[in-house]
């Protein structure tokens, strides 16, 4: 598995580098310079909106909220996105780190795990709706453009996969995982099996509140649409203005490509080629598309790196306090 991720990473990076070299670093750099540092700062500020909406969507699944739960989920979502964007060589690292952060804010481990699993599922559902919206706009605006078969087919397959995953969660997937070691004749620590059972119970409790699930999906969908504003403004700053509807089509299908290619760390090459391919449908030159991809990569670093440093500092402090507590224990 690790070797596969490494190969996918090198392949994606090779594709991205090939695109930059083929279309010319000079024109790409010129488009990027047109946005400037002020443009990057504006995109970082705008990105706070989808982060907040996604955090509120996650928070909506919490049936019993501890004090200051909203702030806890805002921080956890920032850690989740930053870890996922910058440490993508470790699968699900963002979800694990964010769930752990919640446990330090009076959220039980089982509840933190359950809300993370269900939130990730509802976020994928919202992305399917976002992709459907973008595909509909594409078909309405450019009915003879062609090439719409691949997103349509991918959307159908992804929808079936998500329905199956939701059905598995509702049918007691984690109860089955709890019983699996015994069925295989293996022995597992009792506490770890008990925790799996508590996670399953928490998941079933969340699914008993359809209004919360609907709210989670709507907030995530609003987050996807708000993210489109970054593409719209970024292209405008670079001197390549497109309509908001055109940007929504591009962003929705690029996000779908990133999700489908989840096995490629950092979506290396996937994001860049997606912007080039989809931008061409709207007359966007390749250098502008690649500059936009770089601008979004820079945004992820500017936002994510400080968050990761703070998170690691907190983890070090907790480790130090735990070690000190053990030393004082007679």
Confidence of residue 326 (pLDDT cuts 50, 70, 90): low
- Bigger pLDDT: 257 vs 164: 257
- Write the pLDDT tens digit of every residue in 52-75: 999 999 999 998 878 889 999 999
Angle at 256 between CA 252 and CA 259, to 5 degrees: 140
- Residue for token pair 């690691």: 312
Confidence of residue 330 (pLDDT cuts 50, 70, 90): low
For 266-291, what is the mean pLDDT?
A: 87
Q: Quick one: pLDDT at residue 243?
A: 92
- The torsion angles phi and psi of 298, rounded to 5 degrees, stand at -65, -40
For 180-203, what is the mean pLDDT?
A: 58
What are the tokens at 37?
Answer: 């540092």
Q: Quick one: pLDDT at residue 96?
A: 86
Euclidean distance between CA atoms 12 and 26, whole angstroms: 22
Euclidean distance between CA atoms 16 and 27, whole angstroms: 16
Burial grade of 175 (CB within 10 A; 0-12, 13-18, 19 or more): middle
For 13-33, what is the mean pLDDT?
A: 79
Cα 257 → chain centroid: 12
What are the tokens at 53?
Answer: 């909406």
- Contact of 276 with 286, CB cutoff 8 Å: yes
Q: Which of 100-109, 176-185, 264-273 has the lowest mean pLDDT?
A: 176-185
Angle at 300 between CA 295 and CA 305, to 5 degrees: 135
Q: Quick one: pLDDT at residue 309?
A: 94
pLDDT at 88 over 80: no
Mean pLDDT score of the chain: 82
pTM: 0.87
- Write the pLDDT tens digit of every residue in 138-173: 888 776 655 556 666 666 766 777 777 677 777 655
Q: Quick one: pLDDT at residue 184?
A: 37
pLDDT at 128 over 80: yes
User: How many Cα atoms are found within 13 Å in the side-chain-facing hemisphere of 196?
Assistant: 16
Euclidean distance between CA atoms 312 and 235, whole angstroms: 34
- Residue for token pair 């993210």: 227
Long-range contacts (CB closer than 8 Å, 24 or more residues apart) made by 240-247: 240/31, 240/284, 240/285, 240/288, 242/282, 242/284, 245/137, 245/141, 246/141, 246/282
Q: Quick one: pLDDT at residue 174?
A: 57
A 10 A CB-CB count for 243 gives 12
Q: Quick one: pLDDT at residue 267?
A: 78
Q: Which of 222-231, 303-312, 315-324 has the lowest mean pLDDT?
A: 315-324
User: Domain map of the chain by residue range?
Assistant: 2-17+35-316
Please enumerate in sequence order all residues whose Cβ is within 8 A of that of 133, keeping only pairs 6 or more positions apart, or say none. 248, 252
- Contact of 216 with 222, CB cutoff 8 Å: no
Q: Which of 5-9, 224-228, 317-321 has the lowest mean pLDDT?
A: 5-9
């Amino acid at each position: 598995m690790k070797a596969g991720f490494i190969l996918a990473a090198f392949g994606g990076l090779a594709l991205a580098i090939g695109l930059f070299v083929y279309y010319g670093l000079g024109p790409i750099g010129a488009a990027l310079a047109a946005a400037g540092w002020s443009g990057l700062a504006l995109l970082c500020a705008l990105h706070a909106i989808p982060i907040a909406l996604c955090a509120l969507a996650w928070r909506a699944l919490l049936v019993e909220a501890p004090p200051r739960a909203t702030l806890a989920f805002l921080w956890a979502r920032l850690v989740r996105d930053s870890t996922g964007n910058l440490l993508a060589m470790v699968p699900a690292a963002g979800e694990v780190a964010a769930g752990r952060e919640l446990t330090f804010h009076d959220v039980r481990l089982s509840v933190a795990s359950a809300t993370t699993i269900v939130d990730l599922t509802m976020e994928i559902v919202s992305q399917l709706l976002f992709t459907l919206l973008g595909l509909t706009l594409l078909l309405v605006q450019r009915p003879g453009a062609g090439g719409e078969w691949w997103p349509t087919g991918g959307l159908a397959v992804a929808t079936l996969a998500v329905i199956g995953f939701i059905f598995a969660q509702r049918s007691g997937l984690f109860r089955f995982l709890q019983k699996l070691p015994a069925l295989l004749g293996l022995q597992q620590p009792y506490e770890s099996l008990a925790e799996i059972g508590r996670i399953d119970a928490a998941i079933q409790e969340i699914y008993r509140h359809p209004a919360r699930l609907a709210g989670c999906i709507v907030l995530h969908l609003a987050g996807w649409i708000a993210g489109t504003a970054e593409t719209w403004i970024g292209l405008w700053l670079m001197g390549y203005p497109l309509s908001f509807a055109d940007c929504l089509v591009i962003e929705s299908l690029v996000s779908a490509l990133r999700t489908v290619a989840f096995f490629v760390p950092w979506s290396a090459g996937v994001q860049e080629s997606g912007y080039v391919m989809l931008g061409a449908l709207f007359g966007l030159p390749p250098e502008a598309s690649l500059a936009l991809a770089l601008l979004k990569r820079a945004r992820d670093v500017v936002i994510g790196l400080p968050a990761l440093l703070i998170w690691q500092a907190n983890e070090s402090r907790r480790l130090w306090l735990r070690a000190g507590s053990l030393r004082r224990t007679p």
